[in-house]
Amino acid sequence: MASELPMEEIVRRGARTNFEGLRESSFVPLFLTLWGRQASDDHVRQQLKRHYESVTDHLVGVYADFFESQGWDPRPPFTIRDFAVTLTALVEGLTVRWAVDPDAVPLEMRSVQSSMRVERQDDLDAGPWDLFGIVVLALIPSMTVPRIKRDSELWADHEDVRGLVRRLRETWESMVGLSPPAEAPDHTAPESADHCGAEPRRT
């Protein structure tokens, strides 16, 4: 899936098309109605399961091609299927929230526009980022790893997502001069008499 578009622009366009399609789809209200029945209707539940499996199977192929074009592999413990399931759930959830509370799901993230501009100005519109697209972009480093190791140790290909998040947090803390939080109190220790159901003391 060769493309001359920068990765960020591919993500922006693909996510925006996906989100727009769901917002205009008449199937989303139907699926929500069916979801309300699935708890007590095994037939409905199986129909919904088959629908989501079909959607996921299609997206796995799409995302596998995209990962291949970018030289990425899934970052452990994730799989491409996990990525597809996560993005499907995310875009459906945002679609439901947008329908009843559009202000909560911005379709144009103005604060990121200046920093996300694509430098080339020929065939690229470098248009607005919606909430779904920018979250997808933020998820990619956590759910993928480049096959060619980047200079930054944050991209280390031997660690799973927990190690990545830990490194990011430690880096951020060192940049802003914070110390790691103190260890949480041991809640397994026996509680004092004041916390064993006795009436709180009044002053």
The whole-number pLDDT of residue 170 equals 81
Region of residue 192 (phi > 0: left; psi between -120 and 50: alpha; otherwise: beta): beta
pTM of the model: 0.74
DSSP 56: H
Q: Can you tell me the distance from the alpha carbon of 115 to that of 118, in angstroms, rounded to the nearest whole number?
A: 9
**Residues forming a β-bridge with 142:** none
What residue spans of the chain are helical by DSSP H?
Answer: 7-24, 27-38, 42-70, 80-100, 110-113, 131-143, 161-176
Domain range for residue 168?
151-180
Q: Can you tell me the distance from the alpha carbon of 39 to that of 73, in angstroms, rounded to the nearest whole number?
A: 36
Evaluate whether residue 195 is within a structural domain: no
User: Between these two residues, 59 and 32, which has the higher pLDDT value?
Assistant: 59
**What confidence tens digit (pLDDT) does each residue in 162-192 have?**
887 787 788 878 887 765 555 555 555 444 4
Q: Is the pLDDT at 20 greater than 70, yes or no?
A: yes
Q: Is the pLDDT at 41 greater than 80, yes or no?
A: yes
If asked whether residues 159 and 91 sit together in one domain, one would say: no
Evaluate whether residue 196 is within a structural domain: no
Q: Can you tell me the distance from the alpha carbon of 99 to that of 35, in angstroms, rounded to the nearest whole number?
A: 17
User: Between these two residues, 159 and 141, which has the higher pLDDT value?
Assistant: 141
If asked whether residues 95 and 165 sit together in one domain, one would say: no
User: Between these two residues, 202 and 17, which has the higher pLDDT value?
Assistant: 17
Q: Can you tell me the distance from the alpha carbon of 92 to that of 181, in angstroms, rounded to the nearest whole number?
A: 36
Assign residue 87 the CATH number of its domain.
1.10.357
If asked whether residues 66 and 135 sit together in one domain, one would say: yes
Evaluate whether residue 65 is within a structural domain: yes
Amino acid in position 19: F
Evaluate whether residue 190 is within a structural domain: no
Average pLDDT over the chain, rounded to whole?
80
Count the domains in the chain. Answer: 2
The whole-number pLDDT of residue 32 equals 86
Q: Is the pLDDT at 114 greater than 90, yes or no?
A: no
